[in-house]
């Protein structure tokens, strides 16, 4: 069930049997020479829809822009500041909590979102209590990073070894290839790829990682691999969601 394709009456009926909602969140940022700028949002949304179907949960519209300030030296990247993202997350949760939702399961596709999401949850818990929302003490939020699922990590290690890297990875590129086979990109990749550097500002990031990759070899990705990652993530996160809503 997708929130944006439902009527308010359908949502009201849903709330009679479940207070849980899945919220996909990603980023709009560069993913190297062959990765789609929308990779993180595309992956999070696809996995969220799969989990929603498997668990009969409602899925909110995807939050496509996240915290990617270190990528903004690459054309096409759009980012929120952490303070802005906290407000966006907090206000969305508050709106939904006011009508009865109390279990918020964020399926995340971008590592740079994690710290800000957790900060947003803390801000939201305090704000809901300050506003004296009726179900404030029942509201719980959880981050589920599809790329950090144990089954996904194991599969990536088996398929790519050390060439998985940590950004513009073959696993996430493979998933986008499975979802959008018509948008598969090809480009020459240099043998030298930046890895192991700390992340600071955007200019420093581009100097350290000139083509956008972080230790990865996305040339190894295939749509068939993407289907494997999709199935693994949906299965693991479906179980995680059902345990979360209890």
pLDDT at 176 over 90: yes
Percent share of the chain, pLDDT over 90:
98
Q: Please give the mean pLDDT across all residues of the chain.
A: 97
Q: Which CATH architecture has domain 3-245?
A: 3-Layer(aba) Sandwich (3.40)
Confidence of residue 93 (pLDDT cuts 50, 70, 90): very high
- What is the DSSP annotation of 56-123? T-EEPPPB-----GGGTTSTT-B---HHHHHHHHHHHHHHHHHTT--EEEEEE--GGGHHHHHHHHHH
Domain ranges of the chain: 3-245
Q: Given a cut of 90, is residue 133 above it in pLDDT?
A: no
User: pLDDT tens digit string along 9-29?
Assistant: 999 999 999 999 999 999 999
């Amino acid at each position: 069930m997708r929130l944006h394709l439902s009527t308010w009456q359908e949502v009201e009926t849903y709330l009679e049997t479940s207070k849980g909602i899945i919220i996909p969140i990603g980023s709009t940022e560069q993913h190297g020479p062959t990765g789609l700028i929308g990779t993180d949002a595309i992956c999070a949304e696809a996995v969220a829809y799969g989990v929603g179907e498997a668990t009969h949960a409602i899925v909110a519209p995807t939050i496509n822009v996240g915290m990617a300030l270190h990528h903004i030296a690459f054309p096409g990247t759009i980012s929120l500041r952490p303070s802005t993202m906290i407000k966006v997350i907090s206000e969305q949760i508050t709106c939904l909590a006011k009508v009865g939702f109390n279990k918020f399961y964020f399926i995340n596709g971008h590592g740079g979102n994690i710290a800000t999401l957790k900060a947003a949850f803390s801000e939201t818990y305090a704000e809901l209590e300050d506003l004296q929302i009726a179900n404030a003490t029942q509201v719980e939020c959880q981050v589920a990073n599809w790329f950090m699922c144990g089954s996904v990590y194991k599969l990536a290690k088996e398929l790519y070894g050390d060439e998985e890297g940590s950004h513009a990875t073959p696993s996430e590129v493979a998933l986008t290839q499975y979802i959008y086979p018509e948008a598969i990109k090809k480009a020459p990749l240099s043998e030298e790829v930046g890895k192991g550097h700390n992340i600071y500002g955007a200019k420093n990031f581009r100097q350290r990682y000139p083509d956008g990759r972080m230790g990865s070899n996305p040339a190894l990705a295939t749509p068939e691999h993407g289907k494997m990652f999709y199935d693994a993530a949906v299965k693991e996160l479906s179980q995680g969601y059902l345990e979360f809503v209890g």
